[in-house]
A and B are shown apart, each in its own frame.
Chain A
Amino acid sequence: MPQRLLGLPLVLPALAVIAFLFILPLILSAVGAFQVEGAFGWGNFTKAFDLYSKDIVFTVVIITLSTVLIGIASIAIGGYLTLGEHPVAVAILRWLYRWPMFIPFIVVGQILRTFLAKNGMMNNAFINLGLLTPIDAQSFLDWRGIVIAFVWKQTPFVALLVAGAMASVNRDTIEAARNLGASRLRVLIEILVPQVAMTLTVGLILSFVTMMSVLSVPLMINAQTPTMITADIAFRVNSYGDYGVANALGIISLVLASSVAWIYLRASLKERA
């Protein structure tokens, strides 16, 4: 056997794992999405859109809103870590902000369920402080709960990337702006953020895709309609054994996620050009 072919058996196990555990199931579900009672057709998709178009819009809106809020929060955290002048406050924030990253989504859902419910910890605290009367207390266990859960869980991850990128920005570029009279907010918006824009985009896209695939948070927090696509997929499979519509919904999520990835790819190509 020629020597260059020797490499092939070496990569074969890894290749096999990818082929049989990732690519094959993906192709099978894609094919399954177009199969209606043994024949090919758009039936699953029309059914998915008829039943769940509201949920698809709901998913896109919730995740887009969460992504925007995550972006703002992580810029604020990274900015304070980079530009903050109070060393103790910076040290405390640096120590604190990463913790949610190590908490699984299902636990986040559980925590926020007890925290945001109508008679949950948040409302109880407000009532005890006299800021809220029991009559006015309302549950946040709807779309707002999902957004809060996503932002709380995903901000540390993006902030970690953004703060790292900001720390590696040439400090002189910050001081040059300060020297010319830029306030710290202007330095953040006009000098720091543009220099870490690519890292921020990557972080937000990874976050977007992660949030697209979370099942536990909508199930724990928002057990009503409209809900997120993941909950619908679980419902189709578990309650009806309807893999066709579930696969169609999966393809729709995949298209949504990859459209965001496409934006990223285009931006990175433009930057390199």
Chain B
Amino acid sequence: MERDGFLELRGIASRYGSNEVLSDIDLSIAKGEFVALLGSSGCGKTTLLRLLAGFISPSAGQVKVRHRDVTHLPPDKRGMALVFQSYALWPHMTVAQNIGYGLKLKGVSRAGIASRVAAMQSLLGLEGLELRKPAALSGGQRQRVALGRALAIDPEILLLDEPLSNLDARIRLTVRHELRALQKRLGITAIHVTHDREEAMVMADRIVILNGGKIAQAGTPEEVYNRPASAFVAAFMGAENVLSLNGAPEGGEFAIEAGPASAAGSVPLAGRPLTAGPVEARFRPEAARLFAESEVAVIGPGITFKGEVAAVSYPGGHWRHVVRLGQAEVMADAGHAFEPGTRVAVHVPAESLFLFNSPSAAPASTVSRAPTGRVYA
């Protein structure tokens, strides 16, 4: 994706000893964009963020801000401020001292620091807490102080290292929106590292999914959710149901052969580079539609599997069924419960069925392999 290249990464690689943590990272980020780096533990996302911040040097490649090479500049000369996962507040300083420290380092006058700290406090709802020490603050307040400390120096780029992962679940939901609104209001460029798919979807303009130190896909939340570029991305974005099918492209369609548990069907290729042979099919439980075997009707393009309900549970909002399709098991949601043992048909609409040419006959592992050794994530 070509952007105006406010922040650019070109061919970034990083190794730790003989272990390659990152390789071939090319990314261009526009001014004011909110980018989420998403991936499981050990995928290299925190390494990438620390590399951007200047705490580690890449073994290859360049980092550029406004076409200026900052690859080997010290952390404070890059116009970036980092919010740490642990917040990293200084326990011996008060809230005001924590927020104002960056300004003190820049030689701002005492009055200048005081007014900027007060502005940050009102921006973040920390009024009246200036004399407290971090130990006397709640988790949410600490998080806001950490944010205030980073924003006080007026950085061009805000780096966020899982800043919400230490908050409890309910506060996290509101902070997501607050943080996003604040970023929009300040027009600041933000790079947010997270392993939480929903958090990335809700907050980011663009999601960069990392797998094994490489970019697996970069795109808008809608793109990566509805048009995953690989089986890994599909699995990571929640399409955990996986089945092995056989098929071949026919004109603008991909014709799927009938299998032991499925009828033949076809889906539009829609530009996908699929070739004839075994394919890995993935879909989300909520995308599947469940019918009693007797009442199945033709509902449109897609594929229909036949199987038997093995278990049913209620996670809220809908019933989740484990359906046995021959050897395989899939999850499928329905508005009402089917008793275990019921024969059912599972229909997956064409637009929700993700097909990938299998590298081998067996479906690929759904989880990325964490490289061994020390990685930040």
- Residue among A170, A172, A180, A194 making CB contact with B101, cutoff 8 Å: A180
- Residue among A173, A180, A190 making CB contact with B102, cutoff 8 Å: A180
> How many whole Å from A172's CB to the nearest CB in chain B?
3
Q: Does A167 contact B (CB under 8 A)?
A: no
> How many whole Å from B57's CB to the nearest CB in chain A?
12
**CB-nearest residue of chain A relative to B101?**
A180
- Residues from chain B with a CB closer than 8 A to the CB of A47 are none
- Residue among B86, B149, B153 making CB contact with A172, cutoff 8 Å: B86
Q: Is the CB of B105 within 8 A of A182?
A: yes
A41–B223 Cα gap in the complex (Å)? Answer: 94
A175–B77 Cα gap in the complex (Å)? Answer: 14
Q: Is the CB of A176 within 8 A of B149?
A: yes
**CB-nearest residue of chain A relative to B106?**
A181
Q: Is the CB of A175 within 8 A of B88?
A: yes
**CB-nearest residue of chain A relative to B91?**
A195
A191–B102 Cα gap in the complex (Å)? Answer: 13
A190–B89 Cα gap in the complex (Å)? Answer: 13
Q: Which of A172, A180, A182 has the most CB of B within 10 A?
A: A180
Query: What is the interface residue range for chain A against chain B?
Result: 10 to 19
Q: Does A54 contact B (CB under 8 A)?
A: no
- Residues from chain B with a CB closer than 8 A to the CB of A180 are 76, 81, 101-102, 105, 149, 153
> How many whole Å from B256's CB to the nearest CB in chain A?
51
A197–B93 Cα gap in the complex (Å)? Answer: 13
Interface residues of B in 74-117 (CB under 8 A from A): 74-77, 80-82, 84-92, 101-102, 105-106
**CB 8 Å contact bits of B41-56 with A (1 = contact, 0 = none):** 0000000000001110
Q: Is the CB of B105 within 8 A of A170?
A: no
The interface size of chain B toward A, counting residues with CB under 8 Å, comes to: 25
Interface residues of B in 150-164 (CB under 8 A from A): 153
Inter-chain residue pair count (beta carbon < 8 A): 61
> How many whole Å from A171's CB to the nearest CB in chain B?
8
> How many whole Å from A189's CB to the nearest CB in chain B?
12
A176–B105 Cα gap in the complex (Å)? Answer: 12
- Residues from chain B with a CB closer than 8 A to the CB of A176 are 82, 84, 88-90, 149
Q: Does A179 contact B (CB under 8 A)?
A: yes
Q: Does A177 contact B (CB under 8 A)?
A: yes
A177–B76 Cα gap in the complex (Å)? Answer: 9
Evaluate whether A173 and B90 lie within 8 angstroms (CB atoms) in the complex, with A179-B76, A179-B81 already known: yes
- Residues from chain A with a CB closer than 8 A to the CB of B86 are 170, 172
Interface residues of A in 124-168 (CB under 8 A from B): none
> How many whole Å from B163's CB to the nearest CB in chain A?
12
Q: Is the CB of A173 within 8 A of B81?
A: no
Q: Is the CB of A177 within 8 A of B101?
A: yes
24 A/B residue pairs, CB under 8 Å, sorted by A: A170-B86, A172-B84, A172-B85, A172-B87, A175-B55, A175-B75, A176-B90, A176-B149, A178-B74, A178-B75, A179-B53, A179-B54, A179-B55, A179-B75, A179-B80, A179-B82, A180-B101, A180-B102, A180-B149, A180-B153, A181-B76, A186-B105, A194-B92, A195-B91
